[in-house]
Structure 1
Amino acid sequence: METLSRPEMEALQLERLQETAEKVYKHVNFYKQKFEELGVTPKDIKSLDDISKLPFTIKGDLRDNYPFGLFAVSQDEIVRLHASSGTSGKPTVVGYTRNDIDNWAEVVARAVVSAGGRKGDIFHNTYGYGLFTGGIGVHYGVEKLGAAVVPISGGNTERQVMLIDDFKPRGISGTPSYIMTVAEKMKDMGINPRETSIEYGIFGAEPWSEEMRHRLEETFDLKAVDIYGLSEIIGPGVSIECHEAQDGLHIQEDHFYVEVIDPKTLEAVAEGEEGELVITSLTKEAFPVIRYRTGDIASITREKCKCGRTTTRMSRIKGRTDDMIILRGVNVFPSEIERVLLQVEDLVPNYQIHRLQKGTMESVELHVEITNELYNEISGDLVHPKIQKLSKEIVKAISSNCLVSMGVIFNKPNTLPKSEGKAIRIIDLREKKVLVEA
């Protein structure tokens, strides 16, 4: 499946798209109504281009049909339920049949191989278990491959370090921010992260930059690859980078059809152009989704990869449409600021962006954390001339690379909150209540 020719893949996708359209039209009232509003039926899907005739699905539709209104099978066929955290009201609920679980395990097993995994590995899985799809999704895929999972989830970082030291895993997974926290704990315990057994890491669940990749690889002496997925579609495993090229995430196209649209006009953008990812599931039985607007910003390319896979690749997620900051007319994503900060040796890879309201003007403060080495060198003096010089350098770098200016607030080591899951990067103090995950 990963090396099909383009005509073969598109023929398979069309067949599965037609089957999915027929399924939702017959079994999901929400989609039947949407199809009828647009004057379209499943028989109108004669080519992949005809997907543009079908309705979009948004997260609000999932909440409006909470909990099981979008399911396409009867309850006795459901073997698993997952849900989002529900921080904005009712959670989004997704269901899986036995076949869905098997397909999910298959795409994640492919993903682990893409990252450099193999049968017989020990794999340290720090993704959270429970209603969140990350932990269990990766778990089943690793087992499908024939490797041994350490289902440790997040938190209790000292215990994580002990098990890595004792069990000698080849692979590790988690959010980049948390894995860097694990590295810091290793150093505190007198363990050099570069001397562990870990050879490859599968990182995701939050946008991260190429600079973070370099930091992870340098810190652990491993290959770091980006994995992408979302619970509304299936969970982790929608796409992943290969360790050979690390140049775009290979989409599991036999299971998912991906479009990129302009989020304002809703029209398709050209190949290679950034826009909002829209994903249609092609094999889901319990919870098929048509043209789901993910809110994630990326681009796609169909150029063949040097690893030999022929599947379409998507770029790393630049950010989300709902975490983009518009500051004096300039669009800025946290990942762009991260890219700048990780080039500064005297900072640890932990930061927060505070959004403030001063009169009628919005402003932004960038809170960063200095290294222990710098803190000791300046004897804890956060107004030291070296700090002032560093501040000017950061302000200039952000202005040059992100085209915005913002104040920089320096913090002592280990004072900014560290997340055991997705890092909290944006603190919205305009209403003093809204937290946005990275």
Structure 2
Amino acid sequence: MNDLLLKDFVDRRAMERIQLERMQDTLRRVYDNVAFYRRAFDAAGVKPEDLRSLADLCKFPFTEKTDLRDHYPFGLLATDQKNVVRIHASSGTTGKPTVVCYTHDDIQIWSETMCRTLQLGGCTEHDIVQNSYGYGLFTGGLGAHYGAERLGCSVIPMGGGATEKQLLLIRDFGTTAICCTPSFFIHMIEEAEKIGMDFRQTKLRIGFFGAEPWTDAMRRLIEEKSGIKAFDIFGLSEVIGPGVSADCEAHCGLHVFEDHYYPEIVDSVTGEVLPPGEEGELVFTTITKQAMPVIRYRTHDISRLNYEKCACGRTIVRMDKVQRRSDDMLIIRGVNLFPSQVESVLLTVKGVEPHYQLVVTREGAMDELEIRVEVTQQIFSDAVGGLEMLRERISSRIKEIIGLSAKITLVEPGTIERSMGKARRVQDLRKLK
């Protein structure tokens, strides 16, 4: 068993000693180097030295996604800019991206936990990994890439899309493992069937799927249609990217790499820490990250924690698969989307009313987004060409700012249902069972 694998089997008391030492160091570093955390700790009446046990973490304030946005781009850096070797970003709720930074050591930690993710699924240095997550500012592509290289795999940096070429490389390059969203892989299965390609006749044996919610039923569908073993992976940019947790062959929860990312479950209303086994909001504290650590980051993902030893023998804590959230964020084709993002785009377009609705469906394996937008009476009564130009303008802005392709439907004023309470902005018609 190699050194990285050994980390997944550490005795619980030894793990807690590691966590406490690393957490104390992290709290001191952010207090000394990040004005936001110094103000937040002072306002809560706590100092880094008040953390004498892991249970004391509950005394410290939460970090929200809005805090990253309010300190855009580098206001939460805990190190000198010269130490930053990588900058990633995800779409933000007001057009500004959520920025995350990495030192050299952060990249090494990220590579390590993604390597452990792949090992959970039985991947070895003998595998050829086709990485079909998107590269660029999105953390998925490079996170999976570095983890596979750390394991010693041969990596095909394919990126997303280009289904026909994906299938060609799986067949011709002898791909044995693939990393992508589950919906895209199902799309590949459907396209393969059209050309008479059977995945069982290829060398592909493992798939690592994440970046969007998916279900055990979808896992069974993937495995039945392709003959591979499918594994769930979980992560978020604010913590590190993919590689925060992943499931093993027992498929009884996702193992959290808690020697780097310390998890809590809290009541989403009161913020009270809940005991193991109770369902609540997942919160993470990074305890080894240098460039941009986060303290008690609220993910708004609903899960629960299980500290019992897994059937696979691992002792690191497991979290339940995330299938719902405590806020209104949607995950569509791997992209995080808040209705407020759409609203911020629409408000910049002349001729539209402040009434809109998002309709999310799943056609086959792929999520589809329709945005229904009310336009002014003058625009609606205008020539068809004017409506089409407006539709294209909105579509282009949504793609540019948010990074999603969407069907834009322009409707007459008064068409979208009004509500006396909170506006019903979303109809999520996907069947996630």
Task: Give the shorter-chain TM-score range.
Answer: 0.7 to 0.9
Task: Give CA deviations for 1:185-229 in whole Å, capped at 9, x if unaligned.
Answer: 111111013322111110000111110110111111111111010
**1:125–1:138 CA contact under 8 A, matched in 2:** yes
Is contact 2:114-2:243 (8 Å) kept? yes
Task: Tell me the residue number matched to 2:287.
Answer: 282
Q: Do residues 14 (structure 1) and 20 (structure 2) align? A: yes
* TM-superposed deviation, 1:277: 0.5
Alignment correspondent of 2:64: 58
Aligned partner of 2:228 in structure 1 is 222
Q: For 1:90 and 1:239, locate their aligned partners in 2 and report how far apart those are by CA, in whole Å.
A: 27
CA-CA distance at 1:87 after TM superposition:
5.0
Structure 2 match to 1:26 = 32
What letter is aligned with 1:220?
S
What's 1:74 paired with?
80
Is the Cα–Cα contact under 8 Å of residues 177 and 423 in structure 1 kept in the other structure? no
The equivalent residue for 2:271 is 266
Would you say 1:312 and 2:317 are equivalent positions?
Answer: yes
Aligned to 1:98: 104
Contact map agreement 1:205 1:422 (CA 8 A) in 2: no
Partner of residue 247 from structure 1, selected from 241, 252, 258: 252
CA distance in 2, matches of 1:8, 1:255: 14
Alignment correspondent of 1:385: none
What displacement does 1:434 show? 7.0
* SS of aligned partner of 1:112: helix
Alpha-carbon separation, structure 1, partners of 2:405 and 2:206: 21
Q: CA RMSD in A?
A: 2.8
Structure 2 gap segments, 5+ residues each:
1-6, 331-360, 374-402, 410-415, 418-422
Asked if 1:151 is matched to 2:186, the reply is: no
Closer/same/farther in 2, CA of residues 422 and 124 from structure 1, 3 Å limit: farther
The answer (yes or no) to whether the contact 1:302–1:311 under 8 Å persists in 2 is yes
SS at match of 2:9: coil
In percent, how many aligned pairs have the same letter? 48
Asked whether the 8 Å contact 1:272–1:300 carries over to 2, the reply is: yes
Question: Against the structure 1 CA distance between its residues 423 and 254, is the aligned structure 2 distance closer, same or farther, given a 3 Å change threshold?
Answer: farther
SS for the counterpart of 1:320 is coil
Task: In structure 1, give the amino acid aligned to 2:170.
Answer: I
Quote how far apart the aligned CAs of 1:323 are: 3.9
- Provide the C-alpha distance between the structure 2 equivalents of 1:129 and 1:352, rounded to a whole number of angstroms: 22
TM-score (ref. length: structure 1): 0.76
2:300 matched residue in structure 1:
295
Judge conservation of contact 1:187–1:193 (CA < 8 Å) in 2. no
Shift in CA distance, 38/306, structure 1 to aligned 2, threshold 3 Å: same
Alpha-carbon distance between aligned partners in 1 of 2:85 and 2:371, rounded to the nearest angstrom: 43
Instruction: Quote how far apart the aligned CAs of 1:348 are.
Output: 3.6
| Alignment partners' CA distance in 2, 1:134 and 1:352 | 21
Distance 2:189 2:406 in 1: 19
1:6 maps to a residue whose letter is R
Indicate if the aligned counterparts of 1:424 and 1:435 stay in contact, CA closer than 8 A. Answer: no
Could you say if the C-alpha distance between residues 435 and 119 of structure 1 is closer, same or farther in structure 2, counting changes exceeding 3 Å?
Answer: farther
Does the 8 Å contact 1:206/1:423 carry over to 2? no
Q: By how many angstroms is 1:91 displaced?
A: 1.0
SS at match of 1:79: strand
TM-score (norm. length: structure 2): 0.77
SS in 1 for 2:204: coil
Cα contact 2:84–2:101 (8 A) shared by 1? yes
Q: Any idea what SS the aligned residue of 2:281 has?
A: strand
Q: Are 2:199 and 1:193 equivalent residues in the alignment?
A: yes
Q: CA separation in 1, counterparts of 2:309 and 2:424? A: 48
> What does residue 187 of structure 2 align with?
181
Contact 2:187 2:365 (C-alpha < 8 Å) held by counterparts: no
Q: 1:203 aligns with which of 190, 204, 209?
A: 209
Alpha-carbon distance in structure 1 between the residues aligned to 2:319 and 2:365? 25
Partner of 1:164: 170
CA–CA distance in structure 2, aligned partners of residues 136 and 437 of structure 1: 32
2:219 — aligned with what? Answer: 213
Question: Residues 73 and 270 of structure 1: is their aligned pair in 2 closer, same or farther, counting only changes over 3 Å?
Answer: same
The verdict on how the C-alpha distance between 1:48 and 1:213 changes in structure 2, with shifts beyond 3 A counting, is same
Q: Quickly say closer, same or farther: Cα 1:188–1:164, change in 2 above 3 A.
A: same
Q: Secondary structure at the match of 2:159?
A: coil
Deviations 1:271-328 (A, max 9, x none): 2222110000000000110000011111110110111110000010122223489xxx
Structure 1: how far apart are the matches of 2:144 and 2:323? 23
Deviations 1:224-253 (A, max 9, x none): 11101001000000011012x111111101
Other-structure match for 2:326: 321
Unmatched 5+ stretches in structure 1? 326-340, 358-420
What CA distance in whole angstroms lies between the structure 1 residues aligned with 2:404 and 2:327? 16
Q: 1:77 & 1:223 partners in 2: Cα distance?
A: 40
Query: Greater CA deviation, 268-277 or 12-21?
Result: 268-277
In 1: Cα distance, 2:201 partner to 2:279 partner: 39
Q: Return the offset for 1:356.
A: 9.2
Post-superposition CA distance 1:33-77 (Å, at most 9, x none): 000001100010000000001110000000000000000000110
**Farther off after superposition, 315-324 or 173-182:** 315-324
Residue type of the partner of 2:200? R
C-alpha distance in structure 2 between counterparts of 1:422 and 1:239, whole Å: 26
SS at match of 1:213: helix
Alignment partners' CA distance in 1, 2:69 and 2:99: 8
- 1:116 equivalent in structure 2: 122
**Do the aligned partners of residues 84 and 436 (structure 1) sit closer, same or farther apart at CA in structure 2, a change above 3 Å counting?**
farther
Post-superposition offset of 1:432: 11
Displacement of 1:255 in angstroms is 0.2
